[in-house]
Amino acid sequence: MGQHGSASGSILLGLDGFEVTAAEVIDGEWQLEVQTTATVVGCVGCGVRAEAHGRRTVRVRDLPIGGRPVVLCWRKRIWRCREPACSVHTWTERTAAICPRAVLTERARAEACRRVGKDAHAVAAVARDLGVGWATVMRAVHEHGTPLVDDAARLEGVVALGLDETSFLKATRHAPTQWVTGLVGLKRGRLLDVVADRTKAAVAGWLGARPRGWLAQVTTVALDPWRGYASALVVPLGHARLVVDHFHAVRLANTVVDQVRRRTQQATLGHRGRKRDPLYRIRKLLLTAAEQLTERGRVRLRAGLAVGDPTGEVAVAWQGKELLRAVYATDGMPAARAALDRFYRWADGVGVTELSRLARTVRVWETEILAWQVTGGCSNGPTEAVNLLIKKVKRVGHGFRNFANYRLRLLLYCGVRWQTHHTARLRSRSPHFLA
Ligand SMILES: [Zn+2]
């Protein structure tokens, strides 16, 4: 070992009960020789003062210092009991900071969990930074993350619940796409849980595990009208108001626009959309809210339809989508009712199969669609926001295989409140006035 350790070195290390006895940079890494400060201990069996019986060095990785990886060489003390009648002979000292046979200190493991969970960094990247294996980091994420996810306080105070599906595993040649259902607390926009599959049974199972008092507090549920979710809610949440929110209704209408566009492409060109096809080029503009189109976008949209939509059915579906959106843009029940009737008249009058089917779905869910007005615009918007976060975790995770890992990662990223140390700003943004 090179430089000798010092009191300030021990302070900088900041590992409770440890002091630095030597420090050296080897191959770009700090090698810190450390020992515990406990020099007087009692026997674990009889309590008689133990005597030193040599040391054994273990090496563990700790948090980086100044951007450099750190290896702690812990000169572990071995103690011996001098009491002849005692059954304990020798033992090695222990500490909560470094678990037996660990390759990382506990605080490095907690930090690994925070980076993977809170910051959604890839497990492989964190493992590389810490100089350990993937499994070591994943184990740390499990052990430090599970208590956060299992904390019952996480689910407290939910009055509005949102349900939505996201894909978990993309379809392969041998298996269809696998889905999961996310349950979101709409008020705080927090992911409450993720259940495998998007079926009635999946949601019913989760609700069945909630205490009665918890269910009683939920007054509103926003959901996707396509799924069997609603029937899962009848018993446990029969008292709550069901709402088909803006986000899901628009998604439904957008699906119809897409279907008509694809059908028209196939009919006019004899193939699926390609990069240069007029309708394919405006596929995103077709799904953009009309009021958000730029002047240029409007021109491109009209031009694309003029060339690619000879029957005018795509334009008709687009108009239907906008009329359904208008229901959500109204203020108050009479206006919403009138807007809904305009949508029906249009959808029933134009005779486009996909749009007629949409109108039938809307009629089935009419009460829930109009309920949006009564709930003061209870929105599944938070669900949409959580969906974006979910996508980020999926991207980082490069396709999860294991549902338990996936759920843990999602909940750590969008369902847990992390304790963060607020760092004071060294230089404030406001200008300094020197006295
Ligand atoms: Zn003893």
**402-431 confidence digits (pLDDT tens):** 888 889 999 999 999 887 777 777 766 665
Residue 227 has pLDDT above 70, yes or no: no
Residue pLDDT, tens place only, 67-77:
888 999 999 99
| CA 52 to centroid of ligand 1, rounded, Å | 13
Q: How confident is the model at residue 259 (pLDDT cuts 50, 70, 90)?
A: very high
| CA 317 to centroid of ligand 1, rounded, Å | 85
Find how far residue 91's CA is from the centre of its chain.
44
| CA 20 to centroid of ligand 1, rounded, Å | 29
Helices in 288-435 by DSSP H: which ranges?
295-308, 313-329, 333-350, 353-364, 366-374, 381-397, 403-414
Q: Which residues contact 383 (CB under 8 A, 6 or more apart)?
A: 162, 163, 164, 182, 184, 186, 222, 247
| CA 40 to centroid of ligand 1, rounded, Å | 14
| CA 86 to centroid of ligand 1, rounded, Å | 5
Average pLDDT over residues 144-158: 92
- The single-letter DSSP state of residue 331 is S
Cβ-count burial of 150 within 10 angstroms (0-12 exposed, 13-18 middle, 19+ buried)? exposed
| CA 83 to centroid of ligand 1, rounded, Å | 5
In this prediction, residue 379 carries a pLDDT of: 65
Q: Which helix (H) or strand (E) holds 54?
A: strand 51-65
Residue percentage of the chain with pLDDT more than 90: 54
Radius of gyration of the chain (CA): 30
| CA 400 to centroid of ligand 1, rounded, Å | 51
| CA 90 to centroid of ligand 1, rounded, Å | 9
| CA 33 to centroid of ligand 1, rounded, Å | 29
Residue in this structure with the two tokens 């609700």, named with its chain if needed = 207
| CA 50 to centroid of ligand 1, rounded, Å | 8
Residue 331 has pLDDT above 60, yes or no: yes
Mean pLDDT value across the chain: 88
Between residues 429 and 53, which one has the greater pLDDT? 53
| CA 49 to centroid of ligand 1, rounded, Å | 8
In this prediction, residue 197 carries a pLDDT of: 80
In this prediction, residue 59 carries a pLDDT of: 95
| CA 78 to centroid of ligand 1, rounded, Å | 14
| CA 47 to centroid of ligand 1, rounded, Å | 6
Residue in this structure with the two tokens 């405006």, named with its chain if needed = 282
3-state secondary structure of 175: coil
Residue 1 has pLDDT above 50, yes or no: no
Q: Which helix (H) or strand (E) holds 31?
A: strand 29-36
| CA 51 to centroid of ligand 1, rounded, Å | 10
Mean pLDDT comparison of 70-79, 168-177, 223-232, 367-376, highest-scoring range: 70-79
* Whole-structure pTM value: 0.80
| CA 312 to centroid of ligand 1, rounded, Å | 92
Residue 235 has pLDDT above 60, yes or no: yes
Cβ count near 140 (within 10 Å): 27
| CA 91 to centroid of ligand 1, rounded, Å | 10
C-alpha angle 391-393-394 in degrees, rounded to nearest 5:
60
Among 190, 259, 249, which Cα is nearest to 225's? Answer: 249
Average pLDDT over residues 255-277: 88
User: In whole angstroms, what is the distance from residue 168 CA to residue 261 CA?
Assistant: 27
Average pLDDT over residues 325-340: 92
| CA 84 to centroid of ligand 1, rounded, Å | 8
In this prediction, residue 174 carries a pLDDT of: 77
Q: Using an 8 Å Cβ cutoff, are 222 and 379 in contact? A: yes
Among 49, 146, 44, which Cα is nearest to 91's? Answer: 44
Protein residues with C-beta less than 5 angstroms from the ion ligand 1: 43, 45-46, 81, 83, 86, 88
Cβ count near 346 (within 10 Å): 18
Average pLDDT over residues 109-137: 92
